[in-house]
Amino acid sequence: MQPMTVVRAIALSVAMGAASVSAQAAAEANSTSPTSAVRMQHIRNATTKISYAGKTFLVDPMLAKKGAYPGFEGTFRSNLRNPLVELPMPVEDVLKGVDAIIVTHTHLDHWDGGEHRLLPKGMPLIVQNESDAKIIRAQGFTDVRVIGESTLFEGVRLTRTGGQHGTDEMYADSRLAGFLGQAMGVVFQAQGSPTVYLVGDTVWRGEVEQNLARFKPDVVILNAGEARLVGYAGAIIMSKDDVLRATRAAPDATIVAVHLDAINHMDLSRKDLQEYVQQNGIEDRVLIPADGETLKF
Ligand SMILES: [Zn+2]
For residue 45, report the distance from its CA to the centre of ligand 1, in Å. 8
For residue 201, report the distance from its CA to the centre of ligand 1, in Å. 6
The rounded distance, in Å, linking the Cα atoms of 74 and 77 is 9
First to last CA, the chain: 9
Q: Label residue 92 left, alpha or beta by phi (over 0 means left) and psi (-120 to 50 means alpha).
A: alpha
For residue 4, report the distance from its CA to the centre of ligand 1, in Å. 27
For residue 123, report the distance from its CA to the centre of ligand 1, in Å. 23
For residue 236, report the distance from its CA to the centre of ligand 1, in Å. 9
Q: Are 139 and 112 in contact (CB under 8 A)?
A: no
pLDDT of residue 26: 45
For residue 69, report the distance from its CA to the centre of ligand 1, in Å. 15
Q: What is the pLDDT of residues 188-236, one digit of tens each?
A: 999 999 999 999 999 999 999 999 999 999 999 999 999 989 999 999 9
Across 155-193, b (16+ Cβ under 10 Å) vs e yields ebbbbbbbbbbbbeebeeeeebeebbbbbbbbbbbbeeb
The rounded distance, in Å, linking the Cα atoms of 257 and 46 is 10
* Bridging pattern class, strands 39-44 and 144-146: unpaired
Q: What is the pLDDT of residues 113-149, one digit of tens each?
A: 877 778 999 999 999 999 999 999 999 999 999 999 9
Extents of the domains making up the chain: 6-10+37-296
Q: Which of 144, 109, 138, 108 is nearest to 125 (CA)?
A: 144
| Cα→Cα distances 220→251, 287, 297, Å | 11, 10, 11
For residue 235, report the distance from its CA to the centre of ligand 1, in Å. 11
For residue 252, report the distance from its CA to the centre of ligand 1, in Å. 26
* Bridging pattern class, strands 125-127 and 47-52: unpaired
Q: What is the CA radius of gyration of the chain?
A: 18
For residue 237, report the distance from its CA to the centre of ligand 1, in Å. 7
The rounded distance, in Å, linking the Cα atoms of 133 and 102 is 11
Low-confidence residues of the chain, pLDDT below 50?
1-34
**Torsion on CA atoms 217, 223, 228, 229, rounded to nearest 10:** -90
For residue 163, report the distance from its CA to the centre of ligand 1, in Å. 13
Q: What DSSP designation does 88 have?
A: S
The rounded distance, in Å, linking the Cα atoms of 9 and 220 is 19
Neighbours of ion ligand 1 (CB under 5 A): 109, 201
3-class secondary-structure state, position 8: helix
- For the domain covering 6-10+37-296, report its CATH number: 3.60.15.10
For residue 9, report the distance from its CA to the centre of ligand 1, in Å. 29
pLDDT of residue 116: 75
Query: What length is written for the chain?
Result: 297
pLDDT of residue 14: 39
Beta-bridge mates of residue 185? 161
pLDDT of residue 35: 63
pLDDT of residue 13: 40
For residue 200, report the distance from its CA to the centre of ligand 1, in Å. 8
